[in-house]
């Protein structure tokens, strides 16, 4: 059995440590910023009617996402092991029970399931790098871009190949370990992505439909302000907004806990969380502001679903000078952003296999990676061969997405805040967060009351109303 108890009583991680505070922030931002911001946020905001959904999402990010993220980091740093072992260790240490490890186990499972379809969509971005570079979108009409998309996702062999390629890239980085692998992948990607989003925003502002996009994203129907029946926001949409907040911030499944395990003692958890949440939310808003004006300018449907980004952005790039170049770079960056997220999705499962079964990191990565690849085939087929096989929430892809984002992540977040707010004693949490008056008190109120009650309220209403 491995031990991570150092002689001075403070635990250290078995997998190495971040080289600096900045490295940690970059890594967490790298995990948070991904397909969730650029691919998922616009399409589910579109499907759920825009403004009211965006508002609920923003409230969820601040009031629930922030305290959950802080709780995850503090638990991770205190336990300094994989999420399963950390929850077990702290559960016992805090005088509760080792059964808390099930929170970690559910997170490991959620990470595996999310990555199974995430890798498929990331595979699409790889294909779009090649398509962009070949000039397929230069001057293309909305119709041509649309046809490109449907014939691509209709070709299951090609989609499976891209999924395989992306999983291989992920396995490669994760197998190399914390310091050498994770850190370097993030350093330049987030700033570069931000720059290209600004370029797209500029284009979209000049499209003549910027006002439409702005209104779609931020105006809230009168009926919702007055809370009448006519408000299009259903409990399902509210749950989708909550799920998106968890998904985009990478919280609720122990990934951030696993990263927190490598965090140096002196780093401020509040400061780091604020930086990450701000960066992540800004990129999602930018993506929405870049995409919706294009949707309206070209008479497309905001509720088009998972293909939305792949059908709007190539169109914009196709009409720009230097579009072939920028479009290629954009999809390269998006693939990078997905890559750094995929690493984080795999980390809890790999750390668990390494510690629990005493495997090498390379072995653990290949075992878990292979498993994820296999499950992912279900999502590959959801857009072609099995597109008409629908049950419960839709295709296999729809169901895996719903089960993970809307159920498992919020449930994980609920248990994590209950653990940090109620099970851990005040001294332990204050020790990690720094007991500096108001900030600590605010976190504690959010973690003990607001976040758990909010999550439960949304989950219960969504389940009973559908």
* Shortest distance in whole angstroms from residue 204 CB to ligand TRP: 21
* 86-106 exposure pattern, b = at least 16 Cβ within 10 A, e = fewer: bbbbbbeebeeeeebbebbbb
Residue 140 or 334 with smaller CB distance to ligand TRP = 334
Residue 323 or 401 with smaller CB distance to ligand TRP = 401
* Shortest distance in whole angstroms from residue 253 CB to ligand TRP: 6
Please tell me the distance from the alpha carbon of residue 317 to that of residue 185, in angstroms, as a whole number.
Answer: 26
Extract the tokens encoding 109.
């499972």
CB-based contact 90:463 (threshold 8 Å):
no
Residue 296 or 336 with smaller CB distance to ligand TRP = 336
CB-based contact 243:409 (threshold 8 Å):
yes
Residue 61 or 446 with smaller CB distance to ligand TRP = 61
Residue 146 or 306 with smaller CB distance to ligand TRP = 306
Interaction site with ligand TRP (CB under 6 A): 31-32, 34-37, 114, 247-248, 250, 253, 255, 341, 344-345
| Burial (CB count <10 Å: 0-12, 13-18, 19+), residue 6 | exposed
The values of phi and psi at residue 427, to 5°, are -60, -40
* Shortest distance in whole angstroms from residue 118 CB to ligand TRP: 7
* Shortest distance in whole angstroms from residue 152 CB to ligand TRP: 21
* Shortest distance in whole angstroms from residue 157 CB to ligand TRP: 26
Distances (CA, A) of 392 to 210, 329, 376, 450: 37, 38, 19, 31
Residue 33 or 224 with smaller CB distance to ligand TRP = 33
208: left (phi over 0), alpha (psi -120 to 50) or beta: left
Three-class HEC string of 50-74:
CHHHHHHHHHHHHHHHHHHHHHHHH
* Shortest distance in whole angstroms from residue 27 CB to ligand TRP: 10
Residue 43 or 247 with smaller CB distance to ligand TRP = 247
Extract the tokens encoding 39.
């691919």
CB-based contact 114:404 (threshold 8 Å):
yes
CB-based contact 288:217 (threshold 8 Å):
yes
Residue 238 or 255 with smaller CB distance to ligand TRP = 255
Which residue, 83, 89, 54, 59, is CA-closest to 71? 83
- Which residue sits closest to ligand TRP, CB atoms considered? 36
Distances (CA, A) of 363 to 1, 78, 259: 18, 27, 20
Residue 245 or 447 with smaller CB distance to ligand TRP = 245
């Amino acid at each position: 059995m491995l031990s991570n108890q150092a002689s001075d009583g403070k635990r250290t991680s078995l997998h190495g440590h971040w080289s600096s505070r900045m490295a940690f922030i970059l890594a967490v931002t790298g995990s948070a910023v991904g397909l969730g911001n650029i691919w998922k946020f616009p399409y589910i905001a579109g499907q759920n009617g825009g403004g009211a959904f965006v508002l609920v999402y923003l409230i969820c990010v601040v009031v629930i996402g922030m305290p959950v993220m802080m709780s995850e980091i503090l638990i991770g740093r205190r336990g300094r092991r994989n999420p399963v072992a950390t929850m077990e260790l702290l559960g016992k240490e805090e005088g509760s029970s080792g059964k808390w490890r099930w929170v970690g186990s559910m997170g490991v499972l959620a990470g595996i399931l999310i990555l199974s379809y995430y890798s498929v969509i990331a595979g699409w971005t790889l294909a779009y790098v090649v398509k962009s570079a070949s000039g397929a979108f230069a001057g293309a009409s909305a119709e041509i871009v649309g046809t490109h998309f449907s014939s691509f996702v209709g070709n299951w062999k090609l989609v499976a190949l891209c999924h395989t390629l992306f999983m291989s890239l992920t396995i490669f980085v994760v197998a190399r370990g914390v310091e050498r692998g994770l850190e370097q992948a993030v350093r330049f990607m987030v700033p570069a992505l931000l720059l290209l989003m600004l370029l797209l925003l500029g284009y979209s502002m000049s499209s003549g439909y910027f006002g439409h996009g702005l209104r779609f994203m931020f105006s809230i129907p009168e009926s919702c302000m007055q809370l009448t029946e006519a408000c299009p926001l259903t409990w399902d949409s509210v749950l989708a907004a909550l799920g998106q907040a968890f998904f985009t911030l990478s919280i609720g499944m122990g990934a951030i806990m696993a990263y927190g395990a490598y965090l140096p003692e002196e780093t401020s958890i509040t400061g780091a969380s604020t930086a990450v949440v701000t960066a992540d939310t800004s990129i999602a808003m930018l993506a929405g502001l870049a995409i919706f004006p294009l949707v309206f300018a070209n008479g497309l449907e905001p509720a088009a679903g998972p293909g939305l980004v792949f059908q709007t952005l190539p169109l914009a790039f196709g009409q720009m000078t230097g579009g072939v170049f920028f479009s290629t770079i954009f999809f390269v960056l998006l693939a990078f952003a997905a890559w750094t997220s995929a690493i984080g999705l795999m980390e809890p499962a790999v750390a668990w296999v390494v510690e629990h079964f005493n495997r090498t990191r390379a072995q653990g990565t290949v075992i878990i990676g292979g498993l994820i690849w296999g499950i992912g085939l279900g999502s590959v087929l959801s857009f072609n061969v099995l597109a008409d096989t629908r049950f419960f929430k839709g295709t296999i892809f729809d169901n895996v997405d719903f089960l993970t984002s809307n159920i498992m992540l919020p449930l994980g977040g609920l248990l994590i805040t209950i653990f940090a707010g109620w099970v851990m004693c005040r001294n332990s949490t204050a020790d990690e967060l720094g007991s500096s008056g108001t900030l600590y008190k605010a976190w504690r109120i959010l973690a003990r009351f607001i976040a758990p009650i909010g999550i439960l309220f949304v989950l219960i209403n969504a389940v009973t109303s559908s």
